[in-house]
Amino acid sequence: MNIVILGSGNVATHLALTLSRQHNILTIYSRNPNNAEQLAHKIKTKATDKIIEIPAIADIYIIAVKDDAIRSVVDELPQLNGVVVHTTGSISIEALNKFSDHGVFYPFQTFSKDKELDLSKVPILIEGNNEETLLKLNDLAGSVTNKVYTVNTGQRLMLHISAVFACNFVNYFYHIAETILKEADLPFELLLPLIDETAKKVHTTSPLQAQTGPASRNDKKTIQKHVDLLLKMNKKKSALLYKEISDDITELHFERIQRK
């Protein structure tokens, strides 16, 4: 397929590198000409920072920019004959209603430009405004991975919320844990085996069944000791978070016991 990628950030970079192996990337567009040039150079294609220079002959136009920039890119684009998609979980397909054929091509993974990633192991969620568009997106996604799912906007948004809890919030908790360990003059790497084992568990066990810790045992003395220490360390927000989440876990496990 002939493809134009609009964007040069994390998602755009990984899509460009992967799709260029089997498809023809006509142009990389970015408002930052240096970023466009750098990415285009990697896959030996053209770069531009001018909307007017975007080819009109592409089969698919992939808008891979920050969520809050999608609308402005769409407004600048002329009518296009190819399929126009965005790559985000939180924006409705309706944001692309301006185009006759449009949809969503959402690689469900966290991306960093400089970290190598095998997209063949990544689920790609697709949505199209008509059957022909959906078939094209299915073919494109299938050239990358065998984990292709057709979902609607509502499902995608709920998946995105789930990802924030499972990835973004968990990563923030890693940060909190790291700051606590620093005050104790201990390295973060002490937690890595624990983190890895917890992640492995949910591959074969439900998160509810895998839950351990003082809150799941309703160990009020330990919970209070931890809260008191966090307050003593001037970590009031972390203490509140700890107490709130512990209460939720305890309540959840009490309900589970009651149902047995």
Q: Letter for the amino acid at 37?
A: E
Rounded to the nearest 10 degrees, the angle between the axes of helix 220-232 and helix 236-259 is 170
Q: How confident is the model at residue 260 (pLDDT cuts 50, 70, 90)?
A: low
Residue that has been written with the tokens 């990633």 in this structure: 117
Domain extent, residue 219, equals 156-259
Mean pLDDT value across residues 167-186: 96
- Which pTM was predicted? 0.83
Q: Clarify whether residues 223 and 171 are in a common domain.
A: yes
What the block records as the tokens of 137 is 């997106």
Report the chain's mean pLDDT, rounded to a whole number.
Answer: 93
Q: How many domains are there within the chain?
A: 2
**Cβ(58)–Cβ(82) under 8 Å?**
yes
Q: Where are the beta strands (DSSP E) in the chain?
A: 2-6, 24-29, 46-48, 60-63, 83-86, 102-107, 124-128, 148-150
pLDDT confidence of residue 233 = 95
Q: Clarify whether residues 11 and 63 are in a common domain.
A: yes
pLDDT tens sequence across 111-165: 777 778 888 899 999 999 999 999 999 999 999 999 999 999 999 999 999 999 9
DSSP states of 68-86: GGHHHHHHHS---SSEEEE
**Cβ(99)–Cβ(84) under 8 Å?**
yes
Q: Kindly tell me if the per-residue pLDDT of 255 is higher than 80.
A: no
Q: Where are the beta strands (DSSP E) in 110-251?
A: 124-128, 148-150
Q: Clarify whether residues 214 and 250 are in a common domain.
A: yes
Q: Clarify whether residues 47 and 130 are in a common domain.
A: yes
Total residues found in the chain within this entry:
260
150 or 259, higher pLDDT:
150
Listed residue (82, 76, 45, 77) closest to 60, CA to CA: 82
CA distance 160 to 107: 11
Question: Alpha carbon 2 to chain centroid distance?
Answer: 25
Domain boundary residue among 151, 181, 215?
A: 151
